[in-house]
Amino acid sequence: MGTKVLAGGRRFLMGWLGILMGLGLGAPVLLHGQLPEAGSLSASAPNPLSDPTLKPGKMLLFDLEAKFAKDVAERGGAAFADWFAEDGVALGNGTAPVVGKVAILKSANWLPKDYQLTWTPTDGLMGPSGDMGYTWGHFEGHSKDANGNPVTTSGRYTTIWRKQPDGNWKVVLDAGSNEPAAAGDCCKVP
């Protein structure tokens, strides 16, 4: 995803996760944010506040996403690369795959003052063995062009997480697909 990130963004911060955790459905509240406005979620997109499939594995994945998003908001591209496994892969729009943490670090060289990448997971699933899972959702990237005009990119992403031998979780695959900023609800199936 590092190459895609340079061309466009990825993900909103997950304020609703903090609310879920604050209700006792997970670890202590790790971040603060905003809930989606009432009625703003489409019928086809799961609402994480009323998701009957919310299980501890999914909460773990959402917690990882929250920590990942917060770190990237604070430290930029270096933080983005830090979350990848050594053998991680980033896939972007019409670009060659970026393979390996070192290559991802080289391609994700933005500072948070120049580029803000935010994302919101729509859903996720932990595998039955509890050592791999995925999330997917919507991302946005905010930067400025050469004339100082704001530029916003948005799209959909999927992230695959894997538990490492040391017990930490890392991204093994991140893929994104840009869409026009005015595309509306990213998660509607045509």
pLDDT tens profile 105-164: 999 999 999 999 999 899 999 999 999 999 999 999 999 999 999 999 999 999 999 999
Look at residue 90 and tell me whether its pLDDT is greater than 70. Answer: yes
pLDDT of residue 136: 96
Report pTM.
0.69
With tokens 């009625």, the residue in question is: 39
Structure tokens at 24: 């006792």
Look at strands 116-126 and 150-163 and give their pairing: unpaired
Return the amino acid letter for 130.
G
Instruction: Decide: 169 and 163 in contact? Cβ < 8 Å.
Output: yes
Look at residue 85 and tell me whether its pLDDT is greater than 70. Answer: yes
Q: How far apart are CA 190 and CA 188, in angstroms?
A: 6
Contacts of 160 (CB under 8 A, 6+ apart): 132, 133, 134, 171, 172, 173, 174
Look at residue 181 and tell me whether its pLDDT is greater than 70. Answer: no
pLDDT band at 179 (very low <50, low <70, confident <90, very high): confident
Per-residue DSSP letter, 158: E
Q: Nearest-CA neighbor of 140 among 9, 2, 13, 5?
A: 9
Q: How far apart are CA 117 and CA 142, in angstroms?
A: 7
Contacts of 17 (CB under 8 A, 6+ apart): 26, 30, 31, 33, 48, 62, 63, 65, 66
Look at residue 75 and tell me whether its pLDDT is greater than 60. Answer: yes
Cα angle, residue 136 at apex, residues 11 and 131 outer, rounded to 5°? 115
Average pLDDT over residues 80-87: 97
Structure tokens at 188: 């509607």
pLDDT digits (tens, 9 = 90+) for 33-74: 333 444 444 445 556 556 676 788 999 999 999 999 999 999
With tokens 């994480």, the residue in question is: 48
Q: pLDDT exceeding 90 applies to what percent of the chain? A: 61
Give SS3 for 91: strand
Neighbours of 164 (CB within 10 A): 12
